[in-house]
Structure 1
Amino acid sequence: MLRERLQTAIRAVYPPRCLSCGGLVESDAALCGACWGGTAFISGLVCDLCGVPLPGDPTAGAESCDECMRIARPWARGRAALLYRGTGRALVLALKHGDRHDIALPAARWMARAAAPLLVPDTLIVPVPLHLTRLLRRLSNQSALLAQALARVTGHDACPDALVRRVRTPSLDGRTREERFAVLGDAIAVRPRRRAAIAGRPILLVDDVMTTGATLSAATDALIAAGAGPVCVAALARVARDT
């Protein structure tokens, strides 16, 4: 009873706010109606490798999009929670650049629903790393925040520092697919002290956004080279040009 009264008092002073626009909502970590409507959650039939939505019957079985049929993906399966547009894009940018750590947990719940088919027993959740200089500037790695929240939601283990970005790569914004793959190369590796923790374990590799998949490919290659596998990938948002 006392706890309920305290919660009521707190809500009176600090009413729940929409994760995106800051408007009043009924519960914590929620979106208002308008922002929910502006968020393109992915459902139905999706590409089994990257999670982009596809036309067709969702019960038809595993399908691949045109991009994944052209590009060899080193990972086994992939999913994304929403499309990188509208409110979804705003949430990703707020988490990434706006110090909005409160977005991580609800975002992880959305990702958990999307990635449920990929989470086999003993899965280890691993985030895509930031280079140290970027980490010091941002003070947090948005992919690590998502990975830790996803571990909390699903009950699986997470290893936030399994990977290291050895080279400070330039921004990939505006670069072509070929340029992104060339820039990343061997930029990502498994930390030597984490090799034993990942060896032989299924991995769910987590990133905030999947565009061409170059970063996820480099990270997957590093994990497989260190003896992990199979590797699946999950992103909060997927860039999709033809949906």
Structure 2
Amino acid sequence: MRLTSLMQSSLSLLYPARCLCCGGMVDGLNGLCGPCWRDLPLLGAGCYGCAAPLPSLQPGEEAYCDDCLTAPRPWRRGVAALGYSGTARQLVLALKHGDRHDISKPAATWLARPLRDLVTADTVLVPVPLHPWRRLARRFNQSALIAQDLADVLGCDWAPDALRRTTRTRSLGGLTRDERHALMSDAIAPNPKYSLQGRAVVIVDDVMTSGATFSATTTAAYAAGAKDVCVAALARVTKEAYIKT
């Protein structure tokens, strides 16, 4: 333990910790500087179904937004850590398109905060899968990176290959809610090599916009035998206009 501590101290002298967002100096490893942390749009109490902010909601209160009341979600509960804007959007895009794998671990600690009460010893985290061709082009699945680090933080199982993407869909950016749901219909299926029979499942993704991807993934998880499904997004798009993600 002492040797490890000495090695970490030596590394911190050689490679001082930098802010994940702006690159400025920070006191700890894998963190944000003061200004970037203050700009991070942490979400408070939100819709029980999709985590959309509900300003009048009190902590612990269960309420649903108009969208979830009009079209109930197939999952039981949805949570998110951040609003998809400013610093959060910059970090998500850097992780997703900039090979910034170092963002995954702190992101997992942020997402663990609203998710912790939903996780039990029976829970398994399942990332939203990428189509093999997109996985090959990107070389990694950002949702799987978050799910793996989240499993370490929460001390639960994760199953990166429990579900598979069967259709190579186009980007959902710029599409309406109905178009997104139509495009994602039947795009995700159980992986016959794995079973979620009798398990409580939390689907993990980087961003939730309309919920179309989570809906398709939830349907596949139930088809794979899950007894309960919740969803967790690092960031939640909070505006009516869908932003390219």
> Structure 2 length as normaliser, TM-score?
0.94
One-letter code of the match for 2:120? Answer: V
CA deviations on 1:18-56 (whole Å, 9 max, x unpaired) are: 01111100000110111112110012x211111122122
Give the drift of 1:3: 4.1
CA distance in 1, matches of 2:5, 2:202: 38
CA distance in 1, matches of 2:151, 2:52: 23
Residue 207 (structure 1) aligned with residue 208 (structure 2): no
Q: Residue 46 of structure 2 contacts residue 57 of structure 2 at CA under 8 Å; is this kept in 1?
A: no
Residue 169 (structure 1) aligned with residue 162 (structure 2): no
Give the drift of 1:116: 1.6
CA deviations on 1:79-134 (whole Å, 9 max, x unpaired) are: 00000000000110011011111111110011111112221330010000000111
CA distance in 1, matches of 2:155, 2:4: 26
Aligned residues: 239
Q: Structure 1: which 4+ aligned runs deviate by more than 6 Å?
A: none
Q: Write out aligned runs for 1:18-37 (5 A).
A: 18-37=19-38
Structure-1 residue corresponding to 2:243: none
Residue 140 (structure 1) aligned with residue 137 (structure 2): no
CA distance in 2, matches of 1:7, 1:162: 36
Structure-1 residue corresponding to 2:15: 14
Q: Write out aligned runs for 1:175-186 (5 A).
A: 175-186=175-186
CA distance in 2, matches of 1:147, 1:6: 28
Q: 1:155 to 1:4 in 2, by over 3 A?
A: closer
CA distance in 2, matches of 1:58, 1:12: 44
Gapped runs of 5+ residues in structure 1? none
CA deviations on 1:172-213 (whole Å, 9 max, x unpaired) are: 000000100011110100100112xx1111000000000000
CA distance in 1, matches of 2:3, 2:199: 45
Gapped runs of 5+ residues in structure 2? 241-245
CA distance in 2, matches of 1:60, 1:116: 14
Give the drift of 1:13: 1.5
Structure-1 residue corresponding to 2:42: 41
CA distance in 2, matches of 1:160, 1:9: 35
> Structure 1 length as normaliser, TM-score?
0.95
